[in-house]
Structure 1
Amino acid sequence: MDNDRYKELFSNAERWMDEACRQLFAAQVLFSPAFLALRSFERMGSASMDAMSLAAEKVKSLSNARAFHLGIAIENATKARKIINGEITVFEGKPRGLRTDHNILEHVRQCGVQLTDKEEKFLERLSFQVSSLAKYPIAKDLESQRKFTGIIVGSHPEEEPMVMTIIAKVIQDTGLESMFPGPLLASNNPVQLTSDAPAD
């Protein structure tokens, strides 16, 4: 692949939005097992410590995997918008203006999206989960570990479909709206989650 072809592919905002939709689809596939695992854990009552520990690990694994896909979906949508706005470009085979961290909240803020307090709190937690707990056995620093312990994102259906709303805000007035929620998601229920959860 030469520089021109790389630039053409990288600068195609629709490719980034397609990937956002694929990530959302993966998250939706994980929703039922994550939700069922959480409900099963909540109903265990007087089960043995070994059984409860195993169930808790299952909830964390599925929730973290789902949260990772949700976060990357939002991140890809922000990159699509930034490409359209000319904030991300490619020069001599290297992207310029491309954030490579997974601070989802900052990605969204940089797009100028107005967030509610609830959405900000959710994205702060999601950013932590994507950049840390979805990949590592413990937070990358003690302050984050203390701040977020016991708050799980990825297995709760109780609130508004926050991720879908945030992505819709991110891509508003970009011409990408017709791609969202995307063909893969058309037959599925909206993503629903919450930033409130029982402690580990």
Structure 2
Amino acid sequence: MHNKKINQLLIGAALAAMVPAVSAAETPAWNGSVLGFEAGQQGLLGDMLGIRPILEENGFHYNLGYLNEMAYNAGGGYDHDKHLAYIDQVALTFTQDLERWTGIPDARLEGNIVNRNHDDNLTTKRLQDPRVSFNDLSQESWGGGSITRLGWLTFARSFDDRRLTWRIGMMNKVQTFDQIIPCDFQLLTQCGGKSANSLTWNNWNIHTWGTTLE
């Protein structure tokens, strides 16, 4: 009887010791998601028949994206007429590594080109009195009309073992601060850099000459 109790205790202790190991084995590896940001996924076109890997091997990294936003006024608003507002845009963002060619620490060219189409926003067309300034937009990517713009084109490099980064050229604030937040909704207040709500900062598709030290 005494030996049976000892065996039961030993079995229980062994099972208890195994629980953390089992739990650790079942815990998935971190996938890069933080506060709504998700790890990058393979592009729609994959490796583009081997073209993308060749470009990346030579230091050229890019992202080509398409976005459209629609909003419909079923009733109400300043103008009660029904209206379906539609806008879209194509954006190319790229980085060319120059360190491998020049030996300059972290030297790179950074660029962004945005093509916007259809100057049509439900807030300005139906929802709000056009005589007053808007404080939100039903489609956050609206702005500037149908136009192609250079968002930024800059040269950057680091100093002091990457403790200091210098950037110069045609810049945009999102390269330094107030990056875009997860767009769970397409309202301006729910998507995009918050400083744009002041209507004094230009968001990512308009550049300004400048330089920064970070």
TM-score interval, smaller chain: under 0.3
TM-score by length of 2: 0.24
Q: Structure 1 or 2: larger strand share? A: 2
Higher relative contact order (CA 8 A, sep 6+): 1
Q: Structure 1 or 2: larger helix share? A: 1
TM-score by length of 1: 0.25
Larger radius of gyration: 2
